[in-house]
Amino acid sequence: MERIEAIQKITEQLNDELIICNIGFPSRELYAVKDSPNNFYMLGSMGMASSIGLGLALAQKRRVVVLDGDGSLLMNLGSLVTIFNQKPNNLILVILDNGCYGSTGSQCSYASTVNLSRVAEAVGFKNLFLFWNEIDFSEILNINESIFVHVKVEKGNADVPVIDIEPEDIKSRFIEEVIGR
């Protein structure tokens, strides 16, 4: 499964969740698949997706889905430990794992030799899901605890344009969506 297919399959099954999306092609692909004020597109700060998602989940009640990458999670691996300890009941951490730094030319990451699900399990995560082909969120959306979702995807990026929204506008429309109602 290509990463953009995974993003498509996940967003199709979501309802009103807030999405924090990883820097680089993942955000561009999400933008191409389904733009929404519910989406926060990262344009920098590699590694921070899971942390931003944690802060957002702790700050308000709506469910938060983080679309993170293997390389980015490895850059901020301590975040798993913090999430496990804080135990937000409205956070779904999805790792789109292509075993590489896809956005910069698919150079191998250590996720190609280390199983990130087992890392999450060792940290203490109880709700672990692994998908290779199909992605089924029906059970996931019924769990009110922190959830780790490991999705294996192929290397490579879709041919999609850059995001033509100013960072401040990405932020302000997102905040309006979260707080303004």
Partner 1 sequence: MKDSSQTIYQALKNAGINFVVSLPCVNLGKLMEMVECDIDVIHVPVNREEEGFGICAGAYLGGKKTAILMQNSGLGNSVNVLASLYKLYKIPIIMIISHRGTEGEFMNAQVPMGEATTGVLDALEITYFNPKTPEDALKLISKAVTHADMESVPVGILLEISFW
Ligand X SMILES: Cc1ncc(C[n+]2csc(CCOP(=O)(O)OP(=O)(O)O)c2C)c(N)n1
Q: Please report how close the Cβ of residue 75 comes to partner 1 at its closest, in angstroms.
A: 9
Contact (Cβ atoms closer than 8 angstroms) between residue 26 and residue 7: yes
Q: Please report how close the Cβ of residue 29 comes to ligand X at its closest, in angstroms.
A: 9
Q: Please report how close the Cβ of residue 176 comes to ligand X at its closest, in angstroms.
A: 27
In three-state form (DSSP H/G/I as H, E/B as E, the rest C), the secondary structure along the chain is CCHHHHHHHHHHHCCCCEEEECCCHHHHHHHHHCCCCCEEECCCCCCCHHHHHHHHHHHCCCCEEEEEEHHHHHHCCHHHHHHHHHCCCCEEEEEEECCEEHHHCCEECHHHCCCHHHHHHHHCCCEEEEECCCCCCCCHHHCCCCEEEEEECCCCCCCCCCCCCCHHHHHHHHHHHHHCC
Site string for Mg ion, 62-81 (x = CB under 5 A): -------xxx----------
* Among the listed residues 1, 46, 140, 165, the single contact to ligand X using CB under 6 A: 46
* Among the listed residues 79, 103, 109, 146, the single contact to partner 1 using CB under 8 A: 79
Q: Rule CB under 6 A: is residue 72 a binding residue for ligand X?
A: yes
CA distance 142 to 103: 32
* Among the listed residues 4, 48, 93, 163, the single contact to partner 1 using CB under 8 A: 48
* Among the listed residues 31, 102, 135, 137, the single contact to Mg ion using CB under 5 A: 102
Q: Judged by CB, which is closer to ligand X: 72, or 90? A: 72
Size, binding site for partner 1 by CB under 8 A: 35
Q: Judged by CB, which is closer to partner 1: 41, or 131? A: 41
Q: Rule CB under 8 A: is residue 54 a binding residue for partner 1?
A: yes
Binding residues for ligand X (CB under 6 A): 3, 22-26, 46, 69-72, 96, 98, 100-104, 109
